[in-house]
Every structure is written in C-alpha cells, then in structure tokens.
Amino acid sequence: MIEDKNQQRTDLGQLGEFGLIEHLTKNIEIKQPSTLTGIGDDAAVLDFKDKKTVVSTDLLIEGVHFDLAYVPLKHLGYKAVVVNVSDICAMNAKPTQITVSIAVSNRFPVEALEELYEGIKLGAKVYDVDIVGGDTTSSQKGMILSITAIGEADAEEIVYRNGANDNDLLVLTGDVGSAYMGLQVLEREKEVFKVNPNSQPDLDAYTYLIERQLKPEARKDVKELLKALEIKPTSMIDVSDGLSSEIIHLCKNSGVGCNLYEEKIPLDPEFINVCEEFNIDSTTVAINGGEDYELLFTIKQDDYDKLKGNPNFTVIGHMTKESEGIHLITRANTKIQLKARGWNALSNENNEQ
C-alpha cells in the first residue's frame, strides 16, 4: 500500500520531530474521567481515586511481530492497541489509557504514519481508552511500536495468574487457532504474489481466519459478562502465545496441574477446513498457535451452573494437584504432557546485516 507511487508522499524530515508528533496527535480527545492531562506535557496526569492502577507494555517490531507485506498499516495500529488492552482485560480490569511510541526509518512517508495512527485512534475509540502520551522518532531499520496500556479496577475485582486451585474448572472465551491459520493463509498469498504479482487472491473462504489475524479483538466484554453472572475467576491470563503456553503459566503461577480435554477445545468450522486444506493437525495448531487474544481463566466448581450453556464460555479442562502434571487428554483418551511451544520471538530471529 505504501509502495503506490501515485499516492502523496511527504518526507518525515519536512515536519521534524515536534511537528510530526503535533500533526499525528492534534485531534486526539480525552474521554476518560481518570485522564486529567494527556499529550503535550512532560508526562500525562491521571487520577484513579480509590481504584487500583494496572499497567502493561508491549514492543512490536517489523519483521519479527508483523510483516508489512500483508498487514495494512491501519490494521497494525489497531492490533497494537488490542494486544495491550488484552493484557489489562486479563487482569479483570478496565482499560483506560494508552501511550504510543513509534520509530520509523525514512522509508516511511508521513502518510504511512497517518494511516498507522488512524488504526491506533480507531482502536482507542473502540476500546474507549485515551491516548495520553508517546514518542515519535526515527529508526535505523523498519517500524517499531511500543505501547503501554493502563487500566483501573477495584482491588477485589483484580484477578491474578496465581489463584487457581486443584479442581477448579478451566474456561476459555471464544475459539483458538484461527489467528495462526490466518497468518498461514496470508503467508501463502505472499509467496503466490512474489511469483505472480498480478494474481488476484480469492480469500472468501478465509475471511474469519484473516480477520482473527489482522484485526483481532480484546475481550473487554468478559469483565462485565462475568460480573453479571456473579463469577469471579480464581486466575486469568490472555491467550497471546498459545493455549498450551498460557495453561502452563497459570499452573506454574498457581502451583497446580491441569487436564485439558482435546474434544472440548472450541474450534471454528472455517479453521477446521483450512487445517485440512493445509494438512495440519487442528489440535496442534489450537494449542500452540498464538495471537488469539481470548481469555483463559479458572473458576470454582460451584460456579459451573452460572456459566453452563453460555455461548461466550467453554469449559475445556480442570485443574489438578501440581504433582499430577499438565496434560492434554486426547479423544483417544491418551495423556500427552503439554509443552510451551508457543510463539517464541527469540528463536526465529533474523540475522542482522
């Protein structure tokens, strides 16, 4: 998209650092009552009154976390907000503010940053968070995004990773694996495009998967859903690195084991079809593929009736004693030890030039 020579192209140097920040952030509104001052001073000033403050941060690097060959900049901006908001949701807190730092090489014109910022602003609007600060600078290579998300919660609402107990039920929102298969579809299209730049991809059969990859949503709704059901999870985490990896996090932090049931893992029909098309085992992808941004949590057995049959939630297993280990129970009723094979940025890095 930014390769289109017909589009307007304004060099970053024309605006300068201060000019660029001003240009990108000029229409940003403040809506959260907890935001006293946003962009424009040395720091933002926030007021959480008697609420606790929740803070999380993420760094996204071109070529490591995203590939601009198939990720439109607006989607990238949106997703960067979602990824961070998801961490706040995983504490059972309400996201309220974000800060946004961007570094780009001079390969990018001002228009590309505007596009990126459009996505960031849209994400901020959809998730009702204020953009209260940030930094814009140059990079030696590619695009770098660093977002910090801030949220608020009453002390008694906050859910940590360490509260799961033996016999608690393991619950997942939505379905898993689709974001990973969406990435496989996009990477295949990129290879086709390299061979024949005039090919017109027909992606109708992959709409859901591609949307899960390019425009995931954070489960901001879950806090309210659980509140309405009068359920407080005993532990919670978001599924960013893969179900398997997140289950291990919950178990290790809580000092428990887990049985995950293969037959219970919620999969989308489109996902199952595409796994067949790619000749990949759907369970392997469902437990190891990342970037689903669903929430994974544990509840007391007593709360089961409150949540039973609710389309937002699926019970996929139960916690055990730590000594029993962490296992997948297959459809054939065999026990396989779960390993953290989630997405690992450091093992597949590129060689530096």
| Rounded distance between C-alpha atoms, residue 64 and residue 142, angstroms | 11
Contact 71, 179 (CB under 8 A): no
C-alpha 67/C-alpha 80 separation (Å) is: 13
Nearer residue to a second copy within complex by CB, 144 or 275: 144
Q: Does 156 bind a second copy (CB under 8 A)?
A: no
Helical H segments across 196-281, by residue range: 207-214, 221-228, 243-254, 269-277
Determine if 42 is a binding residue for a second copy (CB under 8 A): yes
> 124: part of which helix (H) or strand (E)?
helix 110-126
CB atoms within 10 A of CB 271: 26
Dist. CA 317–CA 197, nearest whole Å: 46
Among 2, 30, 53, 122, binds a second copy (CB under 8 A): 53
In the range 166-225, which residues lie near a second copy by CB under 8 A? none
117 is in an annotated binding site: yes
What does the alpha-carbon distance between residue 300 and residue 297 come to, in Å, rounded to a whole number? 10
58 annotated binding-site participant: yes
Residues 306-335 that bind a second copy (CB under 8 A): none
30 contributes a contact to a second copy by CB under 8 A: no
**Residues whose CB is less than 8 angstroms from the CB of residue 348 and which lie 6 or more positions away in sequence, other chains included:** none
Flag whether 56 is marked binding. yes
Q: To the nearest whole angstrom, how small is the minimum distance from the Cβ of residue 278 to a second copy? A: 25
Residue 261 · residue 188 · CB < 8 Å: no
110-126 and 12-25 helices, crossing angle to 10°: 10
Using alpha carbons only, what angle is made at residue 264 by residues 263 and 267, rounded to the nearest 5 degrees? 90
Closest approach, Cβ 36 to a second copy, in A, equals 7
Nearest alpha-carbon partner for 183 in 175, 191, 171: 191
One-letter amino acid of 38: G
Helix (H, G, I), strand (E, B) or coil at 245: helix
Whichever of 143 and 210 has its CB closer to a second copy, that residue is 143
| Between 136 and 184, CB nearer to a second copy | 136
84 versus 282: smaller Cβ distance to a second copy: 84
Is residue 327 marked as binding? Answer: no
Q: According to the annotation, is 151 in a ligand binding site? A: no
The minimum distance between CB 127 and a second copy, in angstroms, equals: 15
Q: Do residues 245 and 340 touch, judged by C-beta distance below 8 A? A: yes
Does 202 show up as a binding residue in the annotation?
Answer: no
The least CB distance from residue 273 to a second copy, in Å, is 31
- Using rule CB under 8 A, residue 244 touches a second copy: no
Q: Kindly state whether residue 9 participates in binding a second copy, applying the rule CB under 8 A.
A: no
Instruction: State which of residues 2, 23, 48, 325 lies at the interface with a second copy (CB under 8 A).
Output: 48
For a second copy, the closer CB: 51 or 188: 51
By CB under 8 A, what part of segment 260-299 binds a second copy? Answer: none
Count of residues that bind a second copy according to CB under 8 A: 82
The pair of structure tokens assigned to 134 is: 């940030």
281 is in an annotated binding site: no
Does residue number 340 form part of the binding site for a second copy (CB under 8 A)? yes
Q: Which residue in 17, 29, 187, 281 binds a second copy (CB under 8 A)?
A: 17
Map residue 302 onto helix, strand or coil. helix
Among 32, 97, 173, 288, interactor with a second copy by CB under 8 A: 97
Q: Which of 150, 247, 287, 338 binds a second copy (CB under 8 A)?
A: 150
Annotated binding site for ATP: 117, 134-135, 161, 240
Annotated binding site: 42, 56-58, 65, 87, 117, 134-135, 161, 238, 240-241, 291, 343
